[in-house]
Amino acid sequence: MVGPRPGSLPPGSARGDWASVVSGGRASGVSEAWPLVVSAASASVVSAAWASLGGSGSGASFRSRPRLPNRVLVRRAKPVRFRTPLLPYAGPVTPAQLSRTVLHTVRRAVEDDELCVAVPERVKVRTPPRPGCGDYATNVALLLARGDRGEGDALVIAEVLRRRLVRTPGIARVEVAAPGFLNITLDASSHAQLVRDILSAGSRYGHGDALAGVSVPLGPANEVRAALVAHVVRGLVGASGGVVIAGHGPVVRASPVSGAELLRSLGPDAARWALLRPAGHDLPDLDPSRLLSQREDNPLFRVRYAFARTRALMRNAGQLGLAPEPQPDSGAYDHPAETGLLALLADHPRTIEAAARHRAPDQLARHLVAVADAFFRFHDRFHDDCPPLPSGQLKPSAVHRSRLALADATGAVLAGGLHLLGISAPEHL
């Protein structure tokens, strides 16, 4: 995103205010927020003016058959027709594709007359709240059994889906847990494929068409925090394939200080983070002693430091002649520190979509903190068990290349998420 066209005005601002912002003067209303709202770019005079105000980073583009003995009958309804066909994947199922795979499995069970349910438009797949419940879990059977049916029907539906899902390439194991959850464990090839997908997409991993055909309403903003949130939501909607239309909201609690004061006291990156990380109904914490500290208790520092550590690992690997390459047979990606990190990386596309759909960039900010914390568990706390680089006289192996690839993929997710928030991701801290 390179900002508005040269000569254009920020929404809701007068030309005098815009000229004041470009020249570095103090302004009011939305134009006061513009150094925070608009990211720096290198292609135009206007971009250079923003850069002189301390703008950095960039946001996303403004665009603007055998039957069961007891056949389950939830309700008689024709299956929902989808915009695009949900086809099985030729290769291993990555975690990011898993929700669509489950949805496709429901649809095929209905088409084969093994289930008589209304096919939902979406299926949610989540990381289980505790270890020992597989890599992912879904409550789709419970949702399909809603109505007059009870717990027994949910378990029967779950068993139908379990038998089908376990035959899917990339899925190692599927278990049914009361009252009707499906716990899904992926095999190593799926984890390796996820890492390859992230490395292939780079910082644009998670962008897609999840909101294709969806219109997200945004209203005019005349206050610094509301203007910044609206700008970032536009980028998130564009990254998810949706469109922004005129409407209301998002509603956020106003910043107690002006945009110009935020720039002076915090700088653009910390100011953006301070306004974006809290939920809209929460008052932002604008204390410079916390937002600018380079300590573990500063979430923004942890996110950016985690990214810097991934870059340092890549530099050190280059000196050893070691290239990142996920290899499913290496024995990597089976430690809890690795699978926990992989689960969060896989959830990145859904997080972007949810943040766009609900006009809540704080969801993305909190997700980045979780990714950073999971990376430190992988890199630091489990360093003896999961070293991404060989130490001492140990020779580089396939497992090192695989773990190095996981670190590289983590860096791509962190950089891409910060990019969508308009915050820079320095390689050195």
Say if CB 225 and CB 45 are below 8 A apart. Answer: no
Predicted model pTM: 0.75
Closest CA to 109 of 59, 150, 159: 159
- Give the torsion sign (CA, 340, 346, 351, 357): negative
Tell me which residue has tokens 């390439």.
169
Per-residue pLDDT band for 13 (boundaries 50, 70, 90) equals very low
**How far, in Å, CA of 391 to CA of 377, rounded?**
18
**H or E element: which one contains 187?**
none
Closest CA to 351 of 340, 366, 336, 372: 366
Structure tokens at 239: 């990254």
**How far, in Å, CA of 302 to CA of 62, rounded?**
29
**How far, in Å, CA of 13 to CA of 35, rounded?**
13
In Å, how far are 18, 259, 268, 292, 382 from 263, measured between CA atoms? Answer: 17, 6, 6, 12, 39
Say if CB 347 and CB 367 are below 8 A apart. Answer: yes
The pLDDT of residue 206 is above 70: yes
204-429: which CATH number, 1.10.730.10, 2.170.120.20, 2.40.240.10, 1.10.287.70?
Answer: 1.10.730.10
Per-residue pLDDT band for 270 (boundaries 50, 70, 90) equals very high
Phi-psi region of 132 (alpha: psi -120 to 50; beta: other; left: phi over 0): left
Closest CA to 355 of 209, 237, 228, 199: 237
86-91-94 Cα angle (round to 5): 75
Tens-place pLDDT, residues 313-350: 999 999 988 999 988 776 678 888 888 899 899 889 98
Closest CA to 414 of 365, 359, 358: 365
The pLDDT of residue 181 is above 90: yes
Per-residue pLDDT band for 303 (boundaries 50, 70, 90) equals very high
For residue 379, the model assigns a pLDDT of: 87
Q: Higher model confidence: residue 227 or residue 65?
A: 227
Report the Cα 387 to chain-centroid distance in Å: 26
* Mean pLDDT value across residues 282-304: 96
For residue 62, the model assigns a pLDDT of: 28
DSSP track, 9-69: --TT--HHHHHHHHTT----HHHHHHHHHSPP-SSSHHHHHHHHTT--S--------PPPS
Identity at 92, one-letter amino acid code: P
Tens-place pLDDT, residues 56-91: 333 333 233 333 334 344 333 333 333 333 334 444
Question: Hey, what CATH class is 72-186 in?
Answer: alpha beta
Per-residue pLDDT band for 126 (boundaries 50, 70, 90) equals confident
Domain with CATH 1.10.730.10 in the chain: 204-429
For 171, counting Cβ atoms within 10 Å of its Cβ (0-12 exposed, 13-18 middle, 19+ buried), the class is: buried
Q: What is the mean pLDDT of the chain?
A: 78
Identity at 406, one-letter amino acid code: L
For 420, counting Cβ atoms within 10 Å of its Cβ (0-12 exposed, 13-18 middle, 19+ buried), the class is: buried
The pLDDT of residue 406 is above 70: yes
Report the Cα 167 to chain-centroid distance in Å: 28
The pLDDT of residue 241 is above 90: yes
**H or E element: which one contains 217?**
strand 215-218
For residue 153, the model assigns a pLDDT of: 87
* Mean pLDDT value across residues 288-306: 96
Q: Higher model confidence: residue 23 or residue 353?
A: 353
Q: Higher model confidence: residue 216 or residue 5?
A: 216
For residue 351, the model assigns a pLDDT of: 93
Identity at 241, one-letter amino acid code: G
DSSP 167: T
For residue 37, the model assigns a pLDDT of: 57
Residue partners of 141: CB distance under 8 A and separation at least 6: 154, 155, 157, 158, 161, 180, 181, 182
Domain with CATH 3.30.1360.70 in the chain: 72-186
The pLDDT of residue 145 is above 70: yes
Q: Higher model confidence: residue 166 or residue 397?
A: 166
For residue 357, the model assigns a pLDDT of: 95
